[in-house]
Amino acid sequence: MLITNIKGLVGLHPKDKLVLRGEEMNNLPVLENAWLLIEDDFIKDFGTMNDIPSQISSLPTQISAEGKFVFPSWCDSHTHIVFAASREEEFAMKIQGKTYEEIAAAGGGILNSASKMQIATEDQLYRSASIRLKQMILQGTGAVEIKSGYGLTVESEIKMLRVIKKLKANFPIPIKATFLAAHAFPSEYKNNQQAYIDLIIKEMLPQITAEKLADYIDVFCEKGFFSVEQTDQILKAGAKYNLKPKIHANQLSISGAVEIGIKNNAISVDHLEETNEETVFALKNSSTIATLLPSCSFYLGISFADAKSLIAANVAVALATDYNPGSTPSGNMNFVVSLGCIKLKMLPEQAINSATLNGAAAMEISGTYGSIANGKKANLFITKPMPSIAYLPYSFGETQIETIILNGKIYNG
């Protein structure tokens, strides 16, 4: 496939650039008036129209992209898209002023999703997650991480992870699976939390790793959920099975989650709505990625993460959706990139880098995805005609995406 007359070919980082830290994120290399050649699944070559070789310009399969931009697909490194039912009843409670913690304490929240998960079949879960994933792909997402964490029993956690495995097998994008049984304590373990932790460590971990159902391990380290000590215990057990951590950290409070994540070599610590100088300093001296989820802050009405301080401290920042039925019922990365600019005060270049190359890095696939480079997978999208790159986040709530290309082929859903 040959794409010609591209107004701007976006995200031309060298293939060996695997993550962008701090000010490096200001640099979003763009080639103007470009062509892009795709062979099979891969990006074969690119250049400017002024010196397009004749053997390339005469190739048959052509898309003319006049006035349009070509972006690498969004890489959404934090989602919970396998769930049994939506939770709009909590939406009304939120509007009436109840906080996330109050809703959870009243039997809503994660436990609400967990009780619906118990009775859902694998087929039902697969069908509903497929619809969500297809919609996300049509909104420009070309790589995704998906968590368990609404099962909270051996059977249901495995059921969720098997659904993710089936999505991996049937969708044309890379999918990473994260084991998140430590999402909330089931009510029957309220007074014996260690028994649930033992269940995770002694029963769930051996089974899910024997079936190769997970790539990462996650813990919701937060007041009222899992303490720092409990998180440490679970992450250390995960490490014995070679599961690297990607954890929920500092969503509602400064809890020590960031530090315990770093200590356990987390690939990423995610959320970070609450940080202070110490947490930023800890990240500055680590290779752990700070994954920010601004559509969660938007929906819950909680603080927005301090992206500016993180970037100023030379931290690698990624942006992701957190798509889930409770705190973020949206998988739209375009909106996340807009919020990155509008609410986190990231420059468009920083937000786009965070949602592409750094998102891929937070799933350890940035050698193959997340930027436009010869030899990388051709997962990209072509925009509608736009005046500039900044127009994409600027025109929030409007889709600027016209054509999706995955593995070198046009994807129509």
Give the nearest distance from C-beta 351 to ligand NIG in angstroms.
Answer: 20
In three-state secondary structure terms, 249 is: strand
Q: Which of 386, 300, 283 is nearest to 343 (CA)?
A: 300
Nearest residue to ligand NIG on Cβ basis:
326
72 binds, among Zn ion, ligand NIG, none (CB under 5 to 8 A by kind): none
Alpha-carbon span 330 to 384, nearest angstrom: 22
Say how many Å lie between the first and final Cα of the chain, rounded.
19
CB atoms within 10 A of CB 152: 30
Closer Cβ to Zn ion, 232 or 322, answer by number: 322
Footprint of ligand NIG (CB under 6 A): 109-110, 113, 220, 248, 251, 296, 322, 324-327
- Kindly state whether residue 218 participates in binding Zn ion, applying the rule CB under 5 A: no
Closer Cβ to ligand NIG, 296 or 305, answer by number: 296
Alpha-carbon span 315 to 247, nearest angstrom: 17
Alpha-carbon span 7 to 64, nearest angstrom: 10
324 known member of a binding site: yes
251 binds, among ligand NIG, Zn ion, none (CB under 5 to 8 A by kind): ligand NIG
Alpha-carbon span 42 to 376, nearest angstrom: 6
Cβ-contact 406, 137 below 8 angstroms: yes
Between the alpha carbon of residue 236 and those of residues 158, 179, 182, 224, the distances in Å are: 20, 14, 13, 21
151 binds, among Zn ion, ligand NIG, none (CB under 5 to 8 A by kind): none
Give the nearest distance from C-beta 393 to Zn ion in angstroms.
Answer: 22
Closer Cβ to Zn ion, 325 or 370, answer by number: 325
Give the footprint of Zn ion on residues 318-357 (CB under 5 A): 322
- Kindly state whether residue 145 participates in binding Zn ion, applying the rule CB under 5 A: no
150 known member of a binding site: yes
In three-state secondary structure terms, 179 is: strand
Closer Cβ to ligand NIG, 38 or 84, answer by number: 84
Integer Rg of the chain from CA: 21
Closer Cβ to Zn ion, 76 or 349, answer by number: 76
Q: Which residues are annotated as a binding site for 4-imidazolone-5-propanoate?
A: 87, 150, 183, 251, 327
Which residues sit in the known binding site? Answer: 78, 80, 87, 150, 183, 248, 251, 322, 324, 326-327
Which residues contribute to the annotated binding site for N-formimidoyl-L-glutamate? 150, 324, 326
